[in-house]
Amino acid sequence: MDEREHRHDRTRVEELLELATGIAEEAGQMLLAKRPARPEVLATKSSPTDVVTALDRAAEELIRGRIAEVRPHDAILGEEGGDTPGEGGVRWVVDPIDGTVNFLYGLPDWAVSIGVEVDGEIVAGAVHNVPRGELFTASKGGGAWLRGERLRCNTGVPLAKALVATGFGYAAGRRRVQAEVLAQVVPQVRDIRRGGSCAVDLCSVAAGRVDAYYERGANYWDHAAAGLIAVEAGARIGGLNGRPVSPDMALCAAPGLFEELHDLLVPLDPERD
């Protein structure tokens, strides 16, 4: 690739990021304005505790509409609306509310997450932690940012001093296993944090607010944007035994700590249900 092509690609990525950022901001403000004291649960997904709200769907409709206005031929993968095919190699990966239970209860960690793929690779991402008024952004090769400051994950932290974020599934059987795994992890680390949003947890790794994160059951739209933010802040993200991040396992930390946490988790067989 010559210098002119490289500049063209960078310009394209920055334009995609700017659009993702603006839409994530608008969707977040809509959700904040319209959220009632206790939003009604519209439906359940995988289990009675896995909820969808009317505003979940309204936010995704807003996001899809804004993308279609500017880029009508792009594909969109949304948590609520599924996969809409497109043309040209660009696909938007949307989670309108990551942390729906936090949203329902009025807890401060839920986010609008928008990632952008080009030819199957995430190249831009925006995560708007709405209650905290924080907009995390990243572009491939362009760094991870919050409020104009470049983010760097914590490095040089040994496992025994690591603050580790995690999450739990909705099905009772999976939570039982996750609790068994957690009981073996807790004595080996500084402490555990359970925030309730994969996207926010990954941004917390990027910002150095926690040292590491692991979770079984995170979907692509949960980590598409935030995973890029973490990587651009210097973290490593993946699954177990060299596999990519997937619903089986998501693990994120600075490279050295990633290996230590990985080696602690593998013998515990955390991917069983």
Active site residues: 79, 95, 97-98, 100, 222
- Residue 250 contacts residue 137 (beta carbons within 8 Å): no
Q: What are the tokens at 1? A: 């690739």
Question: CA-CA distance, 19 to 36, in Å (whole number)?
Answer: 28
- Residue 153 contacts residue 234 (beta carbons within 8 Å): yes
- CA nearest to 23, candidates 205, 231, 225: 225
Question: CA-CA distance, 92 to 114, in Å (whole number)?
Answer: 7
- Residue 269 contacts residue 184 (beta carbons within 8 Å): no
- Residue 107 contacts residue 132 (beta carbons within 8 Å): no
Which amino acid, one-letter code, is at 194? R
Give a three-class secondary structure readout of 128-165: EECCCCEEEEEECCCEEEECCEECCCCCCCCHHHCEEE
* 173-178 contacts, C-beta under 8 A, 24 or more apart: 173/273, 174/216, 174/217, 174/273, 177/270, 177/272, 177/273, 178/216, 178/270
Q: What is the largest CA-CA distance in the chain?
A: 55
